[in-house]
Structure 1
Amino acid sequence: MELPHVKLELSGAEISGNLDERNPPICLPNQPSDASLLALDIGGTLIKLVYFSGGNEGNEQIGSGNATPGGELRFVKFERRRLGDCLEFIKSKKLIHDSGIITGLSNGHVAIKATGGGAYKFADVFKEKLGVSLDKLDEMDSVVAGANFLLKKIPGESFTHMDGKRTPIEINQKNLFPYLLVNIGSGVGIIKVTGNKIFERVTGTHIGGGTIFGLAKLLTGCTSYDDFLKLSQQGDNLVLDLIVKDICGELACQKQGLSASTLASSFGKVIDSKRKLSDYRAEDLATTLLSAFTYNIAQISFLVAALLGLKRVFFGGSYIRGHASTMDNISYAIDYWSKGQMQAIFLRHEGFLGALGALMSYENLDVDDLTLEDVKEQVKLVNHLDLFTIHL
């Protein structure tokens, strides 16, 4: 049986409800409410799910042909070890049915758009438990498509965060490209985006969110990343971090024009200490870890942006979590190293870029509609930048 196709209607899209809410719904006022829209990003530690909820959600008549427009894109995440809960959620919300655009296989089987390494690893599980196939999409393509969608179509999506204050940023649609996208997942991918579907992965680092959490579990005993972030809010990194004042003293700092509080070495005080790991508070260890990695990721991002001549850097990925200290650390480092000439900009749906990009790929959606200005050709990367490329 050939299933009908439904176009994804993005006109009039906007954030619903409280703008300060984590991952707020996105209203699609012109989308037929009986549309079946579901996409997944199955990463190393999290499953991110984006689905469309029309006025008929939870009603047995879903998919009956009612084309009344209006509904929301909603965002849900599960730890990957809770894959079973994710499958039950999909069942309970009746997100798979025989009308909609979740199709496209020649044999007539229903297929869900999915990206991330887990789309390959767990394809058989989805087939066995839900009777669906996973239409696997390139992860980098999906992340960039998701970012472009949010930046071009969703007012109020981007913001800066400095000293605990969130400030909305209005994006000039005619001047969005090029920009640098830093995606902080288990590792970190750094992408130069020069247009719709036009991008290049410049570099990256394997020392990312997975590294932070792995060390945090060993050092603090925390069992979830959110618990680690809570711990980090209650600690003092100066218990373990070495700052400039510790090396040369307050007076010498003043004479040399140095900031006494500048971080000189993460965990540097441990070298001369006789304390054992058990003598340190978990809160102080967590704060020190968070500072070390966020400052480092920001500095790498600044160096790449500077080499490419980019002033605007967008940060996404599941390990940001809308966490104030994480964003403040990144913003401070970008501002410090660029001498105020570069901004760190964050996204309200930072952890769902891949899933949103997968959603954008459904048949009959012309993603070129997202492009407001024609991009004739990709700007070539600086030749010597290849020296900095890390192939992960």
Structure 2
Amino acid sequence: VKVVKYDEMQCLISGLNFLLNRVPDEVFGYEGGMQSFADPHPYLLVNVGSGISFLRCISADKFERVMGSAIGGATFWGLVRSMTKVRDYDEAMKLAMAGNSDSVNMTVGDIYGGDYPSFSLPRNMTASFFGKVRSLTPLSLLIESPSNAVLFMVSNNIGQLTYLTAQKYGIEKIYFSGNFLRGNEIAMQALHRAITFWSGGKMRSCFLRHEGHFGALGAFLLHNGFTGEDIA
């Protein structure tokens, strides 16, 4: 068996561009409904794995990595594992899904007694992750809620970095990919809300039906001689 190596990000972009141009219902929004664009470019691809890569895709054969972050899926897994006895990633995710971060996170309402209308901050917006833990006893702290708070914290951080990156390059279409998002309702909701809030609804947060297959598809296309124009 001969193993041929291709660049990871090139494969990812090639596979994604192929599906964006060939599969009508590939893209969906968090609140439901398929998203379609006459031309998918330019867009920002946020690939969330162990860490995060932010890829500015200008055309079918032109893209660049404009930023990265070390706070990603492995951060969530590492923190939850250090706080609990869970030794499996899927179990950690189930634990987080069952928790309620409101019991450990401090909100705008906790500080001001309600909304902060001067800056359009709703009472349920998180003001400080794990801000309530200082006043809780260890025995009253269930492991599900801190795990949920970690998941929400990582997701919210990704959302804010995504908005700032998209704003810098004047991009309104944002695609999220990566194993961290597969079946992760909390993360998708947090990303959608963050992008919508900070952009005032001008930016579109989009998710992908065939998440997990872009790299393999891109490698197949590149190995068989397909170029950016062929893929588009």
**Fold conserved between structures, TM > 0.5:** yes
Q: Does 1:322 align with 2:183?
A: yes
What's 2:26 paired with? 157
Shift of 1:363: 2.7
Q: Give the Å deviation of 1:254.
A: 5.5
Check the 8 A contact 1:151/1:171 in 2, yes or no. Answer: no
Structure-2 change in CA distance of 1:257 and 1:143 (3 Å): closer
Q: Is the 8 A contact 1:183 1:315 kept in 2?
A: yes
Q: Gaps (5+ residues) in structure 2? A: none
Q: Does 1:203 align with 2:67?
A: yes
Post-superposition Cα deviations, 1:335-355, rounded to whole Å, max 9, x if no partner, equal: 011111111100012223222
Q: What SS does the corresponding residue of 1:134 show, helix, strand or coil?
A: coil
Aligned equivalent of 2:88 = 224
Letter in 2 for 1:290: L
Q: Could you tell me how far apart the structure 1 residues matched to 2:119 and 2:230 are?
A: 55
Identity across the alignment (%): 35
Q: Residue type matched to 1:284 in 2?
A: S
1:179-222 CA-to-partner distances (Å, cap 9, x unmatched) read 00000011100000011221000001011111111111112332
Shift of 1:256: 6.9
Decide whether aligned partners of structure 1 residues 287 and 253 sit closer, same or farther in structure 2, where only a CA change above 3 A counts. Answer: same
Cα RMSD, aligned residues only: 1.8
User: For residues 350-392 of structure 1, what are the alpha-carbon distances to aligned partners after superposition, in whole Å with 9 as ceiling and x for unaligned?
Assistant: 2232222112112343552122xxxxxxxxxxxxxxxxxxxxx
- Alpha carbons 2:6, 2:219 under 8 Å: kept: yes
Structure 2 equivalent of residue 5 of structure 1: none
Q: How many residues align?
A: 232
Name the CA shift for 1:366/1:311 in 2 (closer, same or farther; >3 Å). closer
Amino acid of the structure 2 residue aligned with 1:294 = S
The structure whose RCO (Cα within 8 Å, separation 6+) is larger is 2
Task: Tell whether the 8 Å contact from 2:61 to 2:227 is kept in structure 1 after alignment.
Answer: no
| Higher-helix-fraction structure | 2
Report what 1:289 is aligned to: 150
Q: Indicate how the Cα distance of structure 1 residues 324 and 170 shifts in structure 2: closer, same or farther if over 3 A, else same.
A: same
Q: Structure 1, unaligned stretches of length 5 or more? A: 1-131, 372-392
CA offsets 1:228-256 (integer angstroms, 9 cap, x no match): 22222221101110111111223x74677
Normalized against structure 1, the TM-score is what?
0.56
Quote the residue 1:304 is aligned against.
165
> Once the 2 structures are TM-superposed, how far is the Cα of residue 291 of structure 1 from its aligned partner?
0.8
| 2:8 aligned partner | 139
Q: CA deviation at 1:279?
A: 4.3
Aligned to 2:135: 273
Is 1:169 equivalent to 2:35 in the alignment?
Answer: yes
Secondary structure in structure 2 of the residue aligned to 1:300? helix
Q: Contact 2:195 / 2:205 at 8 angstroms: preserved in 1? A: yes
1:313 is displaced (CA, Å) by 0.3
8 Å contact from structure 1 (residues 267, 288) kept in 2: yes
Report the structure number with the largest CA radius of gyration: 1
SS in 2 for 1:136: coil
